Structure 1
Amino acid sequence: IGATGKEKDIDNWTGGQMSDLFVAIQHDDSISSEIVRLDETEVINTPNNEGTAIFNSKFTRFYFTRCQRLTELREYCKIYQVNKRKNTWSRPFEVYSTSMGNVGHPAISGDELTLYFSSNRSDGQGGKDLWKVTRFHREEPFYDPKNLGETINTAGDEVFPSLVADTALYFASNGRVGYGGLDLYKAVMVNGQPSKIIHLPPPFNTFDDDFAISYQNGFEKGFLSSRREDAAGGDDIYYFKRIPLNLELSGIVRDDSSFKPVPYANVYLFSLKGDTSVTSTNTNGYYHFDSAQIKEENYYDLFVEKENYFNKRQKFKTFGLIRDTSYTQNVMLQPIPQKPIVLPDVYYELAKWDILPQYEDSLMVLVVIMRDNPKLVIELSSHTDFRASDKYNEELSQKRAKSAVDFLVSQGIDIDRMVAKGYGEQQPRLLTKDFSRDGYTFKKGTKLTESYIWKLRTKKAMEVAHQLNRRTEFRVLRKDYDPNKKVEQQ
């Protein structure tokens, strides 16, 4: 449904010709050549100016602007509602006007209880502003006007609002820095108020007036009005359709230790919408997904697995794109070592074994590893320094190891995948890299034995060595855990 001008009369508010409402039938992406007046009985189309009509979602009601020919009045434009009655339309009835100025360009919420509109009221931000009014029932007038505020309104004109899914309010404005004339904008709506304004890019906007955008079926296609260079004359209606972008994802999977490519790794792509794609790396560690697997407006998990490596998960998203995009996600796989892996910064209070809140993040690293590698069974071990007796240190470290296991269980890791082991002071730490703390540096290859520590020159250096010995580690025991077998045994 659209409006087109009558031959002679001029609307003093818009400066354009007086108009009637017309209907055209759309077939897929084309419009039929037969365009007819919505009404020939002068019930809806009258000698006055009718335009800017908007249907509800069920096409059982529509709202439009009517401007009276008696233009000596300030408030000669009002908003009307029409209801469907079997195969015809009811007589229009006024749902909103004000003595403060003209109102028009209705946009209706999904429940039809909130109406957005444009008005030249003198108590706005300047020019024509966007406002909203509300009501309790669909068959009564709207009331309680509220200006949408300076986030959306300027000293210029804000006109032709269009609401999509109650979350996006599109409108035209000439009060912002744009391409020229009226430009199209999108306001992100939160609780009925604009929170963010987005300037639509070309081809929506040109150097001429672009306005009155409306969408069909979400954000995939719709119509807009424009006075752009290729217009047939005056303001023309244009149809637009979203063309899917060409998206690609590729990368190289490498060994985290040697930096060599990892061939024949399985690479999975999981979308938040439930789609799964899989490929494998070639001999050079290269993988690739094309636009058949990657779509716009989605969240993705890239998941890589290879025998004798820890699985790796990386995330990316495809939102807000305006052109074809090639993503690169290189992946570093960590080999599963034979020796234990030290977890950073898991410390305990003296003679205690509770996991302190500030050290839970270190254990969360292990939680992520266990979630991404569901077949692993590990030993989670704890170590003390050599102070106190052997028996005391062994018992204390066992309690600390169990505390670490209990934390992982609290995060959903099956207890059957973990073995808690306290080694006390039996296994002095062997440094696999240079380590500096509090001004002291211990070289790679140093083993922090009791005899080594006693030879350190200061008590402070000895204390740093004790701290390094007090640690939590894990090592992989098996790679064949099967939760289904556990269920069968139970």
Structure 2
Amino acid sequence: MKTIYSILLIGLMFTGFAQTSKLNSADKKYEKYSYIDAIEIYEKVAEKGHKSTDLFKKLGNSYYFNGELDKSAKWYKELFALNETVEPEYYFRYAQSLKSIEDYENANKYLDLFNKNTTDSRGKEFAKNKNYLATIEENSGKYTLKKTDINSEYMDYGVSYFGNKIVFTSSRTEGAIYSKVHDWTNQNYTDLYVSTLDENNKIGTPENFSKTINTKYNESSPVFTKDGKTMYFTRNNYLKKKGKDDDKTTWIKIYKATFSDNEWGNIIELPFNNDNYSVGHPSLSTDEKTLYFSSDMPGGYGGADIYKVSINGNNSYGNPENLGPIINTEGRESFPFISHDNILYFASDGHLGLGGLDVFESKIINNKFTKPENLAKPINSPKDDFSFIINNNNSGFLSSNRDGGIGFDDIYTFTVCNQKITGFITDLDTKELLPNSKVTLFDEDMNQLEETTSDENANYSFNIDCNKKYYVRAIKEEYDAAEKSFPPQQESGITELNIELERNVFPIEEGTDLAKIFNISIIYFDLDKWDIRPSAEKDLQKIIEVMKEYPNIHISIRSHTDSRQTHKYNELLSDRRAKSTMEYIIQNGIDRKRLTSKGYGETQLINKCADGVKCSEAEHQQNRRSEFIVVKMN
């Protein structure tokens, strides 16, 4: 992201020293942050075979601070190939640059070296969380992301909501009030632009936001009060003339403007600005009593930190307060945003991420910040991702210089992918609803995530992430547990996943047919046969287990045939089948005294297939069955 480096100027300053007349010229441009011009000269010198630690540092830094980390990787590689001692910060920068080209294996090696050569918190964080990439991968898929139609070939970033409109920053030439090229970017100075936003989040054609706000210098990163009458925004140190520090460098400041008589005016700079450092990228708390911002003012933890300051009214403000080491690192933290549900979102290259600037979130609880969490993919990429804002409809905007964009920085829109699993727990056989069933959610590696109980309607639900596979398991007393997989979902929605449980404990009384109660398949026999089919043995074992578990149960085995053959033949055949079934059970350890058997022939058909009725073989087979009736319980 070129803007965060070239406009906010977050980074360390380096002193150049003469090599040749060309290097002298490049060093002067480098020291004035004109990195693009400096790169052109440095690369010509390098192409002629000149090698030095200073040259490769400055070439790497020029690309690094200009947000082109894929190119800085080349020159930092050359730097380390010299095998000379360098400041530990270069291990970190090279690691970040390697991440931008997704060489995470080597990036982690240099982060390890960085940690071994410094006491920096960034190195310690890596040492404690070397599997951070796996964690980011696990947390990915919560958002859907797409490019907007307002991007240009230039820098477009920093969206803010303004009623039913959005206001954003751009260095485009079309619509610009002034045509003035910035030395640091070789693009126009940035202006604020405005577009309508309809109920379907369709963005209208951008227009220049205001002739009174936009000047011939940089304006960016606005934030508006809910009533739309006050705005805070970032601008170069310029009111009626350009302000500079002692080294003739113009930094950035936060300004306030009010809307009156249909135009923006009464532009004042905030009292905690300073000519010698940058203050920018304001954001308001939900109650609009606190202003958050980023600054490289002295006394911070790193290149830029996030601060907050109370808004007292009457253009009075408290003292800026650093958010502390939970949020800020020795790296760069910027672009704060406070959501409607009191979450701080911000961009950082100091916390562990995918490369460049990543977006993080930290919940604000009792005025304290929770440990920042990486928003993962697709919000974050190997390049710079920043200026994240979200509304109460769980959609918002993101800025990024990731691959596949149109310009240098592009604006993306996103929605939070909200997926819910819901369903009913029922009896497999009776379809009866089963309230108070325990339902457990697992990830694809069968790690337990959440547990609930089905309600009085036997319903359960889980809120889950999109693009991930899950398993849901249900269990209830007197039932076998059952489990179903839930495939990854690509879009928000509610998906039904019903689970049926098979009963394993049943109330038994006299007259009960165990074949029905225990869902035992009918004991079928081949035509004119009475020997037990191998396929029936599994079901008979269920009867045997029940009789072993309940030693006082006495059972009557009743066998039936189809209507083919004569009544007499069928009566004899069914009796043989009943006796054959009984003998099988006796052979498996059940006392003969507990069993009786009888054949009923074709006298108790269960379908239409009587004599003279044409039926299929399958229909006839339904009548060739056995029953197991409980006749005594003691």
How far apart are the structure 1 equivalents of 2:201 and 2:477?
52
Contact 2:424-2:459 at 8 Å conserved across structures: no
How far apart are the structure 2 equivalents of 1:331 and 1:106?
52
Contact 1:24-1:31 at 8 Å conserved across structures: no
**1:148/1:200 Cα in 2 relative to 1: closer, same or farther (>3 Å)?**
same
**1:250/1:179 Cα in 2 relative to 1: closer, same or farther (>3 Å)?**
farther
Task: Report the alpha carbon displacement of residue 33 of structure 1 after superposing the two structures with TM.
Answer: 4.8
User: Partner residue of 1:265?
Assistant: 432
Task: Report the alpha carbon displacement of residue 250 of structure 1 after superposing the two structures with TM.
Answer: 6.3
After superposition, residues 202-351 of structure 1 pair within 5 angstroms as 202-218=377-393, 220-245=394-419, 247-249=421-423, 263-267=430-434, 301-303=453-455, 317-318=462-463, 321-323=465-467, 326=470, 328-333=472-477
User: Partner residue of 2:311?
Assistant: 135
**1:151/1:11 Cα in 2 relative to 1: closer, same or farther (>3 Å)?**
farther
How far apart are the structure 2 equivalents of 1:80 and 1:299?
50
User: Partner residue of 1:151?
Assistant: 326
Give 1:56's match in structure 2, choosing from 210, 225, 231.
Answer: 225
How far apart are the structure 2 equivalents of 1:183 and 1:262?
53
Contact 1:80-1:92 at 8 Å conserved across structures: yes
How far apart are the structure 2 equivalents of 1:103 and 1:166?
26
Contact 1:132-1:148 at 8 Å conserved across structures: yes
**How does the TM-score come out when normalised to structure 2?**
0.42
Task: Report the alpha carbon displacement of residue 11 of structure 1 after superposing the two structures with TM.
Answer: 7.4
How far apart are the structure 1 equivalents of 2:374 and 2:243?
37
- Which structure is higher in RCO with an 8 Å CA cutoff and minimum separation 6? 2
**1:166/1:118 Cα in 2 relative to 1: closer, same or farther (>3 Å)?**
farther
Measured against aligned partners, the alpha-carbon deviations of 1:356-397 in whole angstroms (never above 9, x if no partner) come to: xxxxxxxxxxxxxxxxxxxxxxxxxxxxxxxxxxxxxxxxxx
**1:317/1:186 Cα in 2 relative to 1: closer, same or farther (>3 Å)?**
same
Contact 2:425-2:435 at 8 Å conserved across structures: no
Does residue 1:183 correspond to 2:380, yes or no? no
User: Partner residue of 2:540?
Assistant: none
Task: Report the alpha carbon displacement of residue 302 of structure 1 after superposing the two structures with TM.
Answer: 1.2
Contact 2:384-2:400 at 8 Å conserved across structures: yes
Does residue 1:10 correspond to 2:187, yes or no? no
Structure 1: state its 5+ residue gaps: 254-260, 270-280, 288-297, 306-312, 336-490
**1:193/1:173 Cα in 2 relative to 1: closer, same or farther (>3 Å)?**
same
Measured against aligned partners, the alpha-carbon deviations of 1:165-191 in whole angstroms (never above 9, x if no partner) come to: 262011111112211111111111123
How many percent identity over aligned positions?
30
Task: Report the alpha carbon displacement of residue 96 of structure 1 after superposing the two structures with TM.
Answer: 4.3
Counterpart code for 2:399: S
Counterpart code for 2:300: G
Contact 2:389-2:398 at 8 Å conserved across structures: yes
Task: Report the alpha carbon displacement of residue 201 of structure 1 after superposing the two structures with TM.
Answer: 1.4
SS at match of 1:188: strand
Contact 1:189-1:196 at 8 Å conserved across structures: no
How far apart are the structure 1 equivalents of 2:271 and 2:419?
42
**1:142/1:17 Cα in 2 relative to 1: closer, same or farther (>3 Å)?**
farther
Counterpart code for 2:195: A
How far apart are the structure 2 equivalents of 1:159 and 1:130?
6
SS at match of 1:184: strand
How far apart are the structure 2 equivalents of 1:142 and 1:198?
30
Counterpart code for 2:227: K
**1:44/1:11 Cα in 2 relative to 1: closer, same or farther (>3 Å)?**
farther
Contact 1:252-1:330 at 8 Å conserved across structures: no
Measured against aligned partners, the alpha-carbon deviations of 1:182-210 in whole angstroms (never above 9, x if no partner) come to: 11111111233322211011110111111
Give the greater-gyration-radius structure (CA). 2
Deviates more, 1:228-237 or 1:241-250: 241-250
User: Partner residue of 2:337?
Assistant: 162
User: Partner residue of 2:235?
Assistant: 66
Q: Per residue, is there more helix in 1 or in 2?
A: 2
**1:33/1:317 Cα in 2 relative to 1: closer, same or farther (>3 Å)?**
closer
Contact 1:250-1:328 at 8 Å conserved across structures: no
When the two structures are aligned, how many residues end up with a matched partner? 293
After superposition, residues 367-386 of structure 1 pair within 5 angstroms as none
**1:248/1:317 Cα in 2 relative to 1: closer, same or farther (>3 Å)?**
closer
Does residue 1:28 correspond to 2:180, yes or no? no
User: Partner residue of 1:106?
Assistant: 282
How far apart are the structure 1 equivalents of 2:187 and 2:380?
21
Counterpart code for 2:198: H
Contact 1:156-1:173 at 8 Å conserved across structures: yes
Task: Report the alpha carbon displacement of residue 300 of structure 1 after superposing the two structures with TM.
Answer: 6.2
SS at match of 2:266: coil
Deviates more, 1:184-193 or 1:152-161: 184-193
SS at match of 2:454: strand
How far apart are the structure 1 equivalents of 2:472 and 2:430?
18
User: Partner residue of 2:291?
Assistant: 115
Contact 1:167-1:188 at 8 Å conserved across structures: yes
Contact 1:148-1:193 at 8 Å conserved across structures: no
**1:60/1:334 Cα in 2 relative to 1: closer, same or farther (>3 Å)?**
farther
Counterpart code for 1:125: Y
Task: Report the alpha carbon displacement of residue 95 of structure 1 after superposing the two structures with TM.
Answer: 2.8
Contact 2:335-2:346 at 8 Å conserved across structures: yes
SS at match of 1:217: coil
Structure 2: state its 5+ residue gaps: 1-166, 173-178, 440-449, 480-634
Contact 2:398-2:412 at 8 Å conserved across structures: yes
Contact 1:21-1:50 at 8 Å conserved across structures: yes
User: Partner residue of 2:21?
Assistant: none
How far apart are the structure 1 equivalents of 2:288 and 2:303?
27
Counterpart code for 1:9: V
**1:163/1:209 Cα in 2 relative to 1: closer, same or farther (>3 Å)?**
same
How far apart are the structure 2 equivalents of 1:11 and 1:250?
65
**1:314/1:70 Cα in 2 relative to 1: closer, same or farther (>3 Å)?**
same
User: Partner residue of 2:216?
Assistant: 47
Counterpart code for 2:366: N
Give 2:300's match in structure 1, choosing from 107, 119, 124.
Answer: 124
User: Partner residue of 1:406?
Assistant: none
Task: Report the alpha carbon displacement of residue 160 of structure 1 after superposing the two structures with TM.
Answer: 0.6
Q: Per residue, is there more strand in 1 or in 2?
A: 1
After superposition, residues 306-455 of structure 1 pair within 5 angstroms as 317-318=462-463, 321-323=465-467, 326=470, 328-333=472-477
Deviates more, 1:201-210 or 1:28-37: 28-37
Give 1:172's match in structure 2, choosing from 329, 343, 347.
Answer: 347
Does residue 1:38 correspond to 2:209, yes or no? yes
Contact 1:299-1:316 at 8 Å conserved across structures: no
